[in-house]
Amino acid sequence: MANASHYQPNSENVFACLDGSQTFPYTYVNDDYCDCTDGSDEPGTSACPNGKFTCTNAGHRPLIVPASRVNDGVCDCCDGTDEYSGNIACVDSCKELGKKHKEEVERIMKQQEEGMKKKQEFAEAGKKMKEEKKARLEQLQGDKEAAEAERQEMEIKKNEAEVPEKEAKDKHQAAWDEDKARRTAEKDLVTASAAFQELDSNNDNFVDVLEMVIHNEFDIDSNGVVSEEEVKEHLEEADKVDEDTFVTKIWPNIKQIYKSLVPEPAEADGQAAPPAEPQGETAPPPGEETKDSPNSLPPPPLDPEDDYEEDEEEEGEDDEEEDDLDGRDDYHDPGPSTAAPVMSITGAGTLATLAPTTNEIQDPLVKAAIAKAMVSVQENLSQNETEEEGEDKMPAYDEETQVLIEAADAARNAFNAADEKLQSINREITSLQSYMNLDFGNDEEFSELKDKCFEYTDREYTYKLCTYERASQRPKAGGTETSLGNWGRWSGPDNDRYSSQLYERGQNCWNGPDRSVKVHFKCGPENQLINAYEPSRCEYAFDFVTPVSCSGRLSPMETRSHDEL
């Protein structure tokens, strides 16, 4: 016992209280009366309320219990010496407990020895790894200088090659832009001329106010009526303009709003849609069509300057001639007239063809001719569209420009390769420096845990620890992972620094602090996360066993000796 010498009779046969408060004859010790204020004179009785009783526990570890437990009817000492009054019979179990304790100590010692062997292996591997990374870092520093010089050289060559390439490309682009502008101007001129021809309904080679008032798009105030004043505003206050003036001055201001009055064909399967039949009328059977039949072609529009009465007379004459023809025996009715197609101008200046449908034609030869013509028109339209698409595509570069482009591409590729090489070196240097800055213990033994993750699952959650990186938890039933903290620092006491790690700045708790985890390391045969709990709100704790924490010796609790009183 550590204080055993104080209880041995001396030459003066005097006992001194352990706190030094007083001395008295040795016969006062264990006389069931408390003489010392610290109770040290009654180590074997319960006379002092603050006294301690020492269980000898022969064959096992000695035990110190409060003096108040002496003779209280409960056997606290395995040898029963705390109940010496005889009020209760205690069985001496010290030898049995001592045997079990010895076996446990031997098991722990064996575990420590095996762990120490692995720890030494880990330390050797860690030191070797550190040296290799250090040598690689030094090599990369030299490689970086060479890579920077190479990148700078390739950048100069790239810039030099791109100057003539850009000049040639710009020249080609300028020529292409000029050509497009010319063709656009030509198309616009054609469209403007076509619009003029359509507006000039009386063919006097002028477009005047009366010819434009029928176009609703010139209704500036949107009141549904196009006034002469509104038209004159579009005509720049002129009453009428010739084609040159219209094309150069008027058309640029109205081409965005101008709409042709000639209807566009409603195409289906490449053919123009047939004219709609009037409501309430029934078409006559085939072969009985008349000139007034809804299936016949409409007559040409009336000239507004023709006299109405003269038109009636002309129509009467036509009817007589038609009657005469109907009376001839050798007359063959070819069916509806195959008048020339009507041409219309779209807002964009495109010409479209309106033709009678083949369903209205009875003569098979005429019908076949019309069908052939429609196919030809459709092919021409498709060809025109293809040509227009080709016109909108910039032509290929000439051979000289292409050579410059290929040279610049080669210089760019060489520069990109040199740049990627430098970036790769910088990334590896950053990774190595990050590794070198980590504290892996006195002998680099904890490097064994780098880049490894471990899990532990309880009834509700699965906890995960990636050492030197992060800690997290996720619901066992599935759900979002919650960050409990990121690698922070070693957090053990000064005399045992590498006994615990702190992972901090995890996900914030509702109305509370950021989550954090303290990982407690203990000696074990394998690396294993064995427990996870929450000592206080949002502050977690993990128990982790690893050979790296083995020391080859027992802790004070494991080796409690017989020198305690």
Phi, psi (deg, nearest 5) at residue 462: -110, 120
Q: Over the stretch 245-292, which tens digit does the pLDDT of each residue have?
A: 999 999 999 999 999 887 665 554 445 445 444 444 444 444 444 444
CB count, 10 Å around CB of 49? 10
Beta-carbon contacts of 228 under 8 Å, excluding residues fewer than 6 positions away, are 209, 213
Closest by CA to 92, choosing from 80, 106, 74, 83, is 80
Write down the pLDDT at residue 114. Answer: 87
- Please state the rounded mean pLDDT for residues 21-39: 87
Write down the pLDDT at residue 98. Answer: 86
DSSP letter for each residue of 268-307: ETTEEPPPPPPTT--PPPTT---TTSTTSPPPPPPPTTS-
Write down the pLDDT at residue 330. Answer: 45
Q: What percent of the chain has pLDDT over 70?
A: 74
Distance CA 308, CA 565 (A): 143
At residue 341, does pLDDT exceed 90? no
Write down the pLDDT at residue 338. Answer: 39
Q: How confident is residue 107, by pLDDT bands cut at 50, 70 and 90?
A: confident
At residue 178, does pLDDT exceed 90? yes
Distance CA 518, CA 161 (A): 59
Domain ranges of the chain: 1-91, 451-549
Mean pLDDT lowest for which of 164-168, 196-200, 211-215, 336-340? 336-340
Please give the mean pLDDT across all residues of the chain.
80
At residue 564, does pLDDT exceed 50? no
Write down the pLDDT at residue 457. Answer: 95
Distance CA 123, CA 552 (A): 15
Q: How confident is residue 373, by pLDDT bands cut at 50, 70 and 90?
A: low
- Please state the rounded mean pLDDT for residues 231-258: 91
Write down the pLDDT at residue 417. Answer: 97
Quick one: how many helices (H) and strands (E) in the chain? 8, 18
Residue found under tokens 């394998």: 526
Q: How confident is residue 546, by pLDDT bands cut at 50, 70 and 90?
A: very high
Distance CA 445, CA 497 (A): 14
Q: How confident is residue 562, by pLDDT bands cut at 50, 70 and 90?
A: very low
Q: How confident is residue 109, by pLDDT bands cut at 50, 70 and 90?
A: confident
Q: Over the stretch 126-157, which tens digit does the pLDDT of each residue have?
A: 999 999 999 999 999 999 999 999 999 999 99
Distance CA 519, CA 486 (A): 12
Write down the pLDDT at residue 369. Answer: 60
Amino acid in the structure at residue 30: N
Q: How distant, in Å, are the alpha carbons of 146, 153, 158, 418 from that of 421?
A: 10, 14, 16, 5
- Please state the rounded mean pLDDT for residues 67-85: 85
Write down the pLDDT at residue 172. Answer: 95
Burial annotation 331-368 (CB, 10 A radius, 16+ → b, else e): eeeebbebeebbebbeeebbebbebbbeebbeeeebbe
- Please state the rounded mean pLDDT for residues 20-37: 87
Write down the pLDDT at residue 66. Answer: 85
Write down the pLDDT at residue 289. Answer: 44
In terms of pLDDT, which residue wins out, 293 or 181? 181
Looking at residue 514, the DSSP 8-state letter turns out to be B
Write down the pLDDT at residue 285. Answer: 46
Write down the pLDDT at residue 381. Answer: 59
pTM: 0.55
Mean pLDDT lowest for which of 104-108, 139-143, 456-460, 560-564? 560-564
- Please state the rounded mean pLDDT for residues 34-47: 83
Write down the pLDDT at residue 308. Answer: 43
Mean pLDDT lowest for which of 12-21, 419-428, 487-496, 522-531? 12-21
In terms of pLDDT, which residue wins out, 190 or 318? 190
Distance CA 41, CA 52 (A): 10
Write down the pLDDT at residue 335. Answer: 43
Query: Which CATH number is 451-549's, of 3.10.20.30, 2.70.130.10, 3.40.640.10, 3.60.20.10?
Result: 2.70.130.10
Phi, psi (deg, nearest 5) at residue 117: -65, -45
Q: What percent of the chain has pLDDT over 90?
A: 46
- Please state the rounded mean pLDDT for residues 486-502: 95
At residue 377, does pLDDT exceed 60? no
